A and B are shown apart, each in its own frame.
Chain A
Amino acid sequence: MGGLIKSSIARKVAMALSGLFLVFFLLQHFTINFTSIFSADTFNELSHFMGTNPLVQFALQPVLIFGVVFHFVMGFVLEIKNRNARAVKYAKYSGGENASWVSRNMIYSGLVILAFLGLHFYDFWIPEMVHKYVEFAPEDPTRYYPELLHKFVSPVRTGLYAVSFVFLALHLWHGFASSFQSVGFNNKYSVAATKFAKAFAIVIPLGFIIIALVLHLNHNH
């Protein structure tokens, strides 16, 4: 059982499972955000539920934070280990001949996403935590949409969000489909599963970009 924690395969499976968990979270996050572009009331209602439900706040949220931290810490650990596995580099290395750019540069797309998470926490999560658990402000179920809109006034922030989602798409393009292989799923259904994962990698980040742009334009009109 010891190998289930330390071995290369266990770490690979752990990366895949934490990644799949984050994919589910992304879908849920996207669904709620998507409501903001056609119904402020629905968005407020869902946000209020997510922000005040004790199960979400004190069970799912810590699990999510653990999932995110685990995924990027393990990503760094594996990156360092992998770099050490080839101490002397090739004078000429034609990585592009046998593997895609995105698959070879997950660490960089991941780093951009991590930097984005810093901005995203600064924008939403930290103010939210301060509002609820430091200032103990009274509940206001209608505050979410105006706060959201306010954040997307800045074209710079809107642009940064859009660029980050492009990197998210690149990361998902390899990561989501690759997670199936890591957990041992490679059979006659793999072609369909990979197509689904690649479609997800485009559609969801693109959707997030559209939401950011719509909110930005909504405010300016």
Chain B
Amino acid sequence: MNLTLKIWRQKDAASKGAIVDYQVKGIEGDMSFLEMLDVLNEELIVKGEEPVVFDHDCREGICGACSLQINGEPHGPDRLVTTCQLHMRKFNDGDTIYIEPFRAKAFPVVKDLMVDRSSFDRIQHAGGYISVNTSGNTIDANAIPVNKDDADDAFAAATCIGCGACVAACKNASAMLFTSAKVSQFALLPQGQIEATDRVLAMVNQMDEEGFGNCTNTGACEIECPKGISLENIARMNREYLKASLKG
């Protein structure tokens, strides 16, 4: 298929970017979206032009590196997939496709389609961990009884790959789905209880400091999340936060 691509080009963080039009020909339906961009970049290199910069790593939908706002939706029009797992068969010959970086003040553009998502790392550093004594007396996690429903919910929350699609989709650029998933995966397990109060306060505080917007419950994040992280996590984080605020 032949496509018109409208791609955001931006030289560096300080420059002003703009949408630039490109034509790609002979794209096959079995190609992934990133492979289609590889085709474009090879053509640009042959022509002596600067290739389009975009983030990617595993190309298996598990690392959270790829991003891209495709036709106004993070990871494109398909559901429960990352951009690397989005296939060109989802598009039609002659389509015009807008490709932009994930937009948020807390995700500044580095170059073209690549954004700096280290704000997520800082939220995680603020409290997204448990402290375990590793002096040789470590208790095997499997020896601690955990309610099956809680274990399942904790696992579901832990499948968040931190790609930032929730922020990109949200009209407020809110990071509450990400933060709540990271709070929930510990809040639901016995190992997470000891640091629960400090954790939620520190992570929410860091989230606010990074300049993300506020959640208004539109639910866009849950729809666009490639891992299907549930809004229940945000409600849980709200409860945990209120509990911790009253306690701390």
Using CB atoms and an 8 Å cutoff, list the residues of chain A in contact with chain B.
1, 3-4, 6-13, 78, 81-82, 84-95, 97-100, 103-104, 106, 174, 178, 181-186
Which chain A residues lie closer than 8 Å to B66 at the CB level? none
Q: A3-B201, A85-B105, A85-B212 are in contact. Are A184 and B242 (CB under 8 A)?
A: yes
Q: A10-B241, A103-B218 are in contact. List 6 more A-B contacts (CB 8 A).
A: A1-B248, A9-B242, A85-B213, A94-B73, A97-B72, A174-B218
Which chain A residues lie closer than 8 Å to B104 at the CB level? 85-86
Which chain B residues lie closer than 8 Å to A84 at the CB level? 105, 211, 213
Assembly CA distance A82 to B220 (angstroms): 15
Instruction: Please state if B223 and A98 are interface contacts (CB–CB under 8 Å).
Output: yes
Partner of A92, one of B100, B171, B220: B100
Interface flag for B215 (CB, 8 Å): yes
Closest A residue to B222 by CB, please name it: A98
Instruction: Please state if A86 and B218 are interface contacts (CB–CB under 8 Å).
Output: no
Which chain A residues lie closer than 8 Å to B196 at the CB level? none
Interface flag for B163 (CB, 8 Å): no
Q: A82-B216, A85-B106 are in contact. Are A97 and B73 (CB under 8 A)?
A: yes
Instruction: Please state if B77 and A12 are interface contacts (CB–CB under 8 Å).
Output: no
Q: In angstroms, how far is the closest chain B Cβ from the Cβ of A190?
A: 8
Instruction: Please state if B6 and A91 are interface contacts (CB–CB under 8 Å).
Output: yes
Which chain B residues lie closer than 8 Å to A93 at the CB level? 72
B contacts with A: majority SS: mixed
Assembly CA distance A136 to B200 (angstroms): 55
Instruction: Please state if A86 and B173 are interface contacts (CB–CB under 8 Å).
Output: yes
16 intermolecular pairs with C-beta atoms under 8 Å apart? A3-B201, A4-B245, A7-B204, A81-B213, A82-B214, A84-B105, A84-B213, A85-B104, A85-B213, A87-B105, A90-B72, A91-B6, A91-B19, A98-B224, A99-B171, A186-B231
Assembly CA distance A132 to B211 (angstroms): 49
Between B176, B237, B241, the greatest number of chain A beta carbons within 10 A of the residue's beta carbon is seen for: B241
Between A81, A84, A90, A100, the greatest number of chain B beta carbons within 10 A of the residue's beta carbon is seen for: A90
Instruction: Please state if A104 and B238 are interface contacts (CB–CB under 8 Å).
Output: no
Which chain B residues lie closer than 8 Å to A88 at the CB level? 103, 109
Interface flag for B117 (CB, 8 Å): no
Interface residues of B in 208-248 (CB under 8 A from A): 208, 211-220, 223-224, 231-232, 234-239, 241-242, 245-246, 248
Which chain B residues lie closer than 8 Å to A78 at the CB level? 214, 216
Assembly CA distance A82 to B246 (angstroms): 26
Interface flag for B207 (CB, 8 Å): yes
Instruction: Please state if B72 and A94 are interface contacts (CB–CB under 8 Å).
Output: yes
Assembly CA distance A103 to B106 (angstroms): 23
Interface flag for B155 (CB, 8 Å): no
Q: In angstroms, how far is the closest chain B Cβ from the Cβ of A164?
A: 22
Q: A85-B106, A97-B77, A181-B217 are in contact. Are A9 and B237 (CB under 8 A)?
A: yes
Which chain A residues lie closer than 8 Å to B8 at the CB level? 91
Instruction: Please state if A184 and B238 are interface contacts (CB–CB under 8 Å).
Output: yes
